[in-house]
Each structure stands twice: as structure tokens, then as C-alpha cells.
A and B are shown apart, each in its own frame.
Chain A
Amino acid sequence: MAVLDEMHLRRNPTLTVGQKFWSINWGLVLLICLLSGFGLAMLYSAANGSFQPWAGRQAVRFLLGLSVMFGCALIDIRFWFRFAYPLYILSLLLLVAVEIMGSIGMGAQRWIDLGVIQLQPSEIMKVALVLALARYFHGLTVQDVGRPHYLIPPIFMALAPAALVMRQPDLGTAIMLLMVTGAVFFAAGVRWWKFAIVIALVAGAVPLAWSHLHGYQRNRVLTFLNPESDPLGAGYHIMQSKIALGSGGVLGKGFLQGSQSHLNFLPEKQTDFIFTMLAEELGMVGGLLLLTLFFLVFVYGFAIALRSRNHFGRIVALGLTINLFLYVFINIAMVTGLIPVVGVPLPLVSYGGTAMLAVLFSLGLVISVSVHRDVRIPRRGLREEA
């Protein structure tokens, strides 16, 4: 043990930019590029074999996002540790701003128009919340985590943005925020029975929540339960998506040959339903290949979390990986008819600027955790050591 400790101490915690660059996980970067390549190919097909209007713009965004990712990866983990709370506060303020002056888009107030791009604060919040929670749990001992009153601040840190997002109304993102919070709590070592209590409370609150749901949200749940009941109405999306998937078969109809997508039976094929289109044209083989690529990304994320020498980095890497996983799972489960239709895009693949930037930003943070895995951050914070 002592020998190992000596080795760690000898290693210089402050690396040069060149060293950092070479310690980036290039395998992970390759996976990310492959996934985005898949996405661009499908967007090219969705436009009937054209780079306009989606694939071309998405490629530019991807390159932009890639540079953001590298930028994040090279920034010292201690910077993110220091700015975790301010970033969270800023995100919370942006959510409030959306509530006050958000413009109307898709029947929900989710955007802030900054002139150049439309900013979606809930996307930033997903990252900021993980950072803030990681920052908080970093400062708790195992014993502290076991004390209930220590859990009250992080619960409110999660509930505040979730409530604001719910008001937009964006049920899917609100649930995702809570699920990520749950995962972080779990990873931080919160006891099983506490989760059991929360789950019991939620189950008891379902009837109450039902009465507060918007009409369209209720319809989504109802048509999920029986999509065939209204094939031309609300169940149309799910039915057509299942038809597209099923008719694709094992090997698919061939690139650019998906009849369901190209004849517009498939709704929003360039965004939420892009996986359906992929599985229709490239079949189960293509779908499973994409799932495998995602799986490898998650493996990288978990490995990075486990190798980090600071608790903050561990929780950040794990939380953001789980966040990414939830995106992937909810999207694919939705288009295959396993869960109700919730507006969640498929990360790196679906068309959309903010989502692409947010995902690459969070992956940049994960890589940063990896690059700075040997940086030690004292439990009580940085100032103490300095």
C-alpha cells in the first residue's frame, strides 16, 4: 500500500496541455464519431438522399460540438468542481427566465432565443444538476450520507429544476432529472430502504399527479396502454413506428429504401423517431449495432468513473453516463412501444442543435474526469489544501 501511495504522490497532478491531449480516451472519441456518423447517414436518408435540410447542418453542429467536447475535456476538473454550484444557479435562473419570457415552440415553453441559437435551459440543467450533486456528495463522509438531514439539500436541488421543467410543460425531461438524481443518490451510497420509502410515496402520489397532468400527457399514457384503439388519432405514431420496425426485419429494407419513413407514415423521423427509421432501413442488425456502440460508450463511462481518484469526478462521470443511458433507453423504448411517447431525442443521432451540444458537453466532462483521474480533491474542498 505504501509503495502505491508513493507512486501516486510522485505523479505530478498538474499536466501540460499536450499530456492531457494524449491522455484523452481516443476509443471513446471514435465511438462518438461512429454514432454521429450513423446519425448523419440516417438524416441524409430522411431527406430522401439529400444533405439538405438536415444532414449538412447536423454535421456542422457535430464539428462545433466536438470542439466543445475537447475544450471541456482539457479544462481542469478542479475548475468544474469550483463552478459546479454557480453553473447550477445560472441554469436555475435560465429555467425561471424561460418560465417568464420563454417563446412558444411545439406547444411548450422550452426555449430562450439568444438570436444566434435557441437555448434550451433544461438541457444545460441536466449537466449542471449532476455537477452540483457531485459537488455536494463529494463533501459527505459515508456516515454523513447515512444521516437523513444531509439528504434534504440535494433533494431540493433536484426538485426545484424538476418542478420548473414540469411547468413548461416537459414531463419527459422532468422525470429524467429525477431519475438521474436517484442514480446519483444511489451511487453516493444512500441506503436501500430510503429508496423504498420514496418509491412507495411516488406510487401513492400517482393518482394525485394524474389529475394535474395536461390533456396531451394523459392521452400519451392512455394511447400507450392501447395504441390500436385509435390508429388514426393519438396511437398513430406508435402504430406506424412499430410497423416500420417490424417490416424492417432482420436485415432491413436497405439504405434509402424505408417505405414507412420515405412515404411520411413515420412522424418526426429526423428527430425522436430516427431509430425507427434506422431499424427499418438497416434492420435488427443495424439497430443492435447502434445499441452495441452505445453500450461501449457506457462501459467507457463506468470505467472512467471507477478509475477516478476523486469522488467528485466519479459521481460526475457516473451521473452523466447514466444520463446518457436514460436518453438512449427512453428513446428506443418509446419508439418500440415499450413506454409511452415522450419527446426524448436519441443522443448523437437525432437532429437537433442544443441536444447535440449538451450531449457532447457532458461527454467532454466525462473525458475530463478521465484525463484528470489522478487529481486529488480534498473532501472539504480545494481552498483548504491551497
Chain B
Amino acid sequence: MGERRNEEQGRYRRFARRAVMLGGGQLLLLGALAGRMYYLQVVEAEKYKLLAEDNRINIRLLPPPRGRIVDRFGTPLAVNRQNYQVLLVSEQVADLDDTLDRLGQIVPLTGDDRERIHREIKRKRNFVPVTVEENLTWEQVSRVEVNSPDLPGVSIDVGETRHYPFGDRLSHIVGYVAAVSEKELTGDPLLELPGFRVGKSGVEKLHDEDLRGTAGTSQIEVNAVGRMIKELSREEGHAGREVVLTLDSGLQEFVFNRLSNEPSASAAVLDVETGEILAMASVPSYDPRPFNLGLSQQQWQELVNDPLSPLSNKAISGLYAPGSTFKVMVALAALEAGVGADHKVFCPGFMDLGNHRFHCWKRGGHGSLDMQGAIQHSCDVWFYDTAKRIGIDRIAAMAKRFGLGDTVGVDLPGERGGTIPTRAWKLANIGTQWQGGETLVNAIGQGFVLTTPLQLGVMVARLAGGKAVVPHVTRGLRGGGAPDQLVSLPAPKLDVPEAHLDIVREAMDMVVNSPRGTAHRSAIDHPGWEMAGKTGTSQVRRITKAEREAGVIKNEDLPWRRRDHGLFICFAPVDKPRYACSVVVDHGGGGSSAAAPIAKDIMTETQRRDPIGSRPLPLVAQVGQNEA
């Protein structure tokens, strides 16, 4: 009995010892768990809090509505229009192909479309809607809605798309928007939104950031598969700003339609006081709408390969020899160089320099002419003689003051600068010395001289108003959560004596209103609206000696591509100039026959509408905006 009890006690003691050890081990392990929790929940808590927030919060961008573009009176030129889209949520669709077949009976779907839809569905999560088709007609929308019981998972959504009420008549200035390209991604998350559009040309491009506005954000809580649970907070963005242009859309329409009688032409109408562009057109033009929707490769090729280059705004990017319109620069340079307005030159129809003969456009010659007479009759010999006296560099210096030879800084993308040659320019760019004969050729606006139609418009505006105006199409910005901003402001005085300008203005008056002027047929007979101008004809081919002897071939007998460009610059009214205009008709023949009649119609319409005299959309100028 005792032995058994002793044995029992020995067994118990060993058990107790072992149990204490096991208990100690357990305590150690529980301590490890507590330590682990301390590490995760205290030491590393911040790191995991961030990770948890990342897990659950998604930031969604609220795209702001794009700002409108309006003309000086508030007429909309670019607006947002509702765009009806068919969307499809794949998780609600039982049989995708069957659903697409049914949809295809309402909205035409090509094989490419179906392939794209299949691809997108595979890529996106199955509750994210996929766009089936955009820009539905109202009838298609109604038919989808009516058939919705048979189309589970299909819904109609309203998006925004850009609409241009004036279409091709303003596409060169307003531009267009299109999908963001890879190169344009700046890191702004707005640009990465599907379906987001940015300005690709014209005002849409130049003022893209103003028009775009700022995105709002919506913080949403999502679950593990990304489905939205609720909105946590919302920060509204700012709508894009409204861009007010200097244009008068009515006048723009008139100018465009008037130019459209020609295969290829351009024109600009400016305010001589401010440089505001009231109308500027280049025909042919293009329809901006397909760009927004996505141009097909074929449409793009057609536009690019069109010999009349509808995509280019010739008013700012077409380079033309200014022809005789350039003579007003030579006259002003001569006056500054001390050659008086009474300086007389006898024109026998040609002038010899070295062993080369330079012809006047009038075969028999003009006889003896002073400066104003030479401008009125556009006598080449008077300008040969005067240019030879003062030299090319003085002419160039004057031309530069009138905005030629370099970009004038119009607020539109794609402006070209042209060329006003000097001796140094030739040495640097061509590598040879200036020849005396070149002075004569360039003095009549041929040779190296190249200008854009807008530059000619600026030249005549500065001449007419005596102010160093800079042309621009933006009048100001409104709305979008910021104060109004007026960009158009009066220009400083031009650094040319008013007396010199008056001499040339008077001569230009004679060009149009004197019975013997080169543009007399285009005189405006409405009292008070009379205009002054200068014709120009820009030769695109070389007239050989043989042809000159046989008689110069008339423009009408040449193929269109080899005909002269017709140019005309003008301002009105004559006694108190307010409007300036330049017209270039590509291969239209002479300036007096092709361009002057168009300019007459434009100037008559401009003064009839009188956009400067009418009350524009109010824009309050802000202090500190004077640099503009």
C-alpha cells in the first residue's frame, strides 16, 4: 500500500514538474502573440493605416464642362452638346453576342466595333460599363429605350461632345478638339479619362487650359473588387472659362461666303485702333466635326492630300510675295530717308541696271510721276529708282516696323513669319553678296519678300491708324470661377511721322477713288464709307525675254497653278480710318480684277454692320492686365 502510494506520489511530482514547464512554454508563446500584436498595431500601425486607406478609397475625377467659345457679341462658336451613348454592363448580359445582334438592328455595328467591345469587356471589370456606340440620333435612342426589356444590361447615357455651329466657316480660328494623344499626356489625370478631348488647333488649342477648367474629385469607398460602396467626400471643380473672341460671326460668315466664289483665297478684317481681328477666313476650309468623333484614315488622307490644303489657315500660314502692295513700305522708307513726296521719276516702261533691263508692268511707261502718282498708278520704275537710292536695308527697317518679316504674334497656333530681306540676311541665308538688281525686284514686292495675308492686314492697319497694333482674336475670358479678363487693349503709337503716313494714305485714296487709280472700279460709292487701298499682283512664274517680246501671255490663258496671285489691301472710311482689310486670291490674276472687288464687298459689309460701333459683350478689364 505504502509502496504504491510512494510510486503514485513520484508520478504526481513528475507530472506537476512537467505541467509547470508546459505552462511556462504556453505563457512564452502567448507573450510572443502579444508582442506580435504590439509590433503590428503600434510600431507598424501607421504603415498599415496608409495601406488600408489605399485599399478602400478610390479617387474619381469629375470632368469639368469645357468652356464655350463665343464671338464679340456672345454668339456661340463652340459649345457642348449632349451626346447619347449606348452602354453595356457585361455582368448583366446573359449572352453578349445575342444582345449585340439585337442592338445591331437599331444601331449599325461593324465587325470592328464588335471586336472592340469584346476586347474592352475582357479588359475591364464586369460591372464597368463599356461604350457600344456614341452619337446616337434621337430616333435610335428611343428605339433602344423601347426595346430595353429585351436588352438587359444595355443603357443609354448622356455624355458631352463639342459642337461648332459655324462649322467650316470658323474651323481655322476656333479649331477643334479630339482625343488626347500619347504625347500630350502631362500627368494631369484629367487627360487620362476615357473620352476626354483636348484642343488640337486654333483657339481650342491655344486656350486649352482655360477652356478645360479644373477637375473636381469625388472620394469613393470601394470594396475588394472595386465596386463603389458610397461617396465619402466631393470637391467640385471649376467649369472651363468662356473665351470671348474679337470676331463678329456675322461678318465672318459674309467674308467666308464671299471668298468661297474663288477656289482658294484668304482675307482678314482688323480694327485699326486695337488690332482686333473682326473676321479672318481662308477657303477652302474643313469641317471640324469629324475630328471630334475620330477621323478615319481615309478622311485624313483626303484632307492632307488635297492640293488646296483646306487644313491650313492661309491667312496666317500662307506665304505670298506681296507684289505692289509692298510699294507703300518703299514710299515710307523713302520719305524717312529724305526723298520727298515731290521726287519725280520718268518712266519709259523700263529701267536698265548694269546689263539687265527691269520692266514696268505698263509696256509704254507712265511718263513723269511723283510719289503719290507712282502709288496711284503702281509704277514700277519710280520704285526701282527710289529703291536704288535708299537701298534695301532702309526698306527692310520700315517693313519690320509694320509687322513684316517676322511673326506678328497673333494668338493662334501655326503663324508663319515670311521674309523681308536685307544684305546681312542674304549673306547669312543664301551665302552670297547682295546684288543691286535684287533691290529693284524686292522693292516691287517680288524676289525674296514673302508675307502672310494677315501681315498685310496688320501693315495696312498700322498705316491707317498710326498705331503699332498687334492682331489678335481673343477679346477676353469670362466665368469659370475667376474674374473677367480683358485681353484687347488700345495699342501704342507707331514710330512713323503722321505726315508721312498721310502722304501714303492720300495716295491710297487716289488708287481707289481717283478715276485713273488702279482700283477705281472697286470704289465704294456709299458716302462716308469710301475706302483707300493698294493693289498687288504677285507673279508665280518667271517671264522670259522671248515671251516679253512676243507679248506677255494673259492670265486667263495660263493653267490655274501658273496664274498670278491677286492681292489687295485697304482701309475705310478714308477720312477717319477704323477698319483695315487684306485680301489674297490665289492664282486669281491681277489684284485690281480679282482681289479689289472682294475687298470692296467686305468693306461695305463691314461698315454696314459696324462691329466696332456696336456694343460688345461686357468684359470688365482687371487692374494689372495691361501687359496684354
Contacts and interface: CB of A to CB of B under 8 A. Distances in A.
Q: Do these two chains interact?
A: yes
A270 B51 CA distance: 22
A140 to B, nearest CB: 9
Given A189-B18, A291-B30, A302-B19, A249 B41 contact: yes
B41 A142 contact: no
A306 B10 CA distance: 14
Contacts of A315: 15
A325 B26 contact: yes
Nearest to A325: B26
B30 A329 contact: yes
A241 to B, nearest CB: 10
A186 B19 CA distance: 9
Contacts of A322: 22, 26
Given A250-B42, A263-B222, A336-B33, A243 B19 contact: no
Interface stretch (A50-58, A62-70, A101-109, A282-290): A282-290
A248 interface: yes
A264 B227 CA distance: 11
A325 B12 CA distance: 23
A265 to B, nearest CB: 5
A100 B56 CA distance: 45
Contacts of A250: 41-42, 45
Contacts of A338: 32-33, 36
Main secondary structure of the interface of B (DSSP, over half): helix
B41 A141 contact: no
Interface in A255-300: 259-260, 263-265, 279, 283-284, 287-288, 291, 294-295, 298
A142 B42 contact: no
Contact of A318 (B10, B22, B44, B51): B22
A243 B10 contact: no
A240 B52 CA distance: 8
A213 B52 CA distance: 34
Interface string A305-330: 11000010011001000100100010
A240 B22 CA distance: 33
A192 B47 CA distance: 44
A314 B23 CA distance: 14
Given A243-B55, A295-B30, A311-B15, A249 B42 contact: yes
A141 B52 contact: no
A337 B36 CA distance: 9
A249 B47 CA distance: 11
B22 A186 contact: yes
B40 A141 contact: no
Contacts of B8: 311, 379
B15 A259 contact: no
Given A186-B22, A247-B52, A322-B22, A287 B41 contact: yes
B45 A329 contact: no
A73 interface: no
A72 B26 CA distance: 26
Interface residues of A, number: 47
Main secondary structure of the interface of A (DSSP, over half): helix
Nearest to A265: B224
Interface in B248-288: none
Given A284-B42, A311-B11, A246 B48 contact: yes
B20 to A, nearest CB: 8
A222 interface: no
Contacts of B12: 311, 314
Contacts of A337: 36, 40
A263 B221 contact: yes
Interface in B385-428: none
Contacts of A302: 19, 22-23
A247 B224 CA distance: 16
Contact of A242 (B23, B40, B49, B222): B40
A332 B36 CA distance: 10
Nearest to A305: B19
A325 B47 CA distance: 31
Contact of B11 (A183, A189, A249): A189
A78 B221 CA distance: 60
B452 to A, nearest CB: 59
B33 A314 contact: no
B229 interface: yes
A198 interface: no
Contacts of A246: 40-41, 44-45, 47-49, 51-52
Interface centre among A240, A246, A306 (most CB of B within 10 A): A246
Which 9 A/B pairs are nearest by Cβ-Cβ distance? A246-B48, A247-B52, A284-B41, A263-B223, A264-B224, A189-B14, A247-B49, A247-B48, A249-B45
22 contacts: A183-B22, A187-B22, A243-B48, A243-B55, A246-B44, A247-B52, A250-B41, A260-B52, A260-B56, A263-B221, A264-B225, A265-B56, A298-B23, A302-B19, A302-B22, A306-B16, A311-B12, A329-B26, A336-B36, A337-B40, A338-B32, A338-B36
Given A242-B48, A302-B23, 19 more contacts: A141-B7, A142-B7, A186-B18, A189-B11, A189-B18, A243-B55, A246-B44, A250-B42, A259-B56, A259-B221, A263-B223, A265-B55, A279-B37, A298-B26, A305-B19, A311-B15, A329-B26, A336-B33, A337-B40
Interface of B: 4, 7-8, 10-12, 14-16, 18-19, 21-23, 26-27, 29-30, 32-34, 36-38, 40-42, 44-45, 47-49, 51-53, 55-56, 221-225, 229
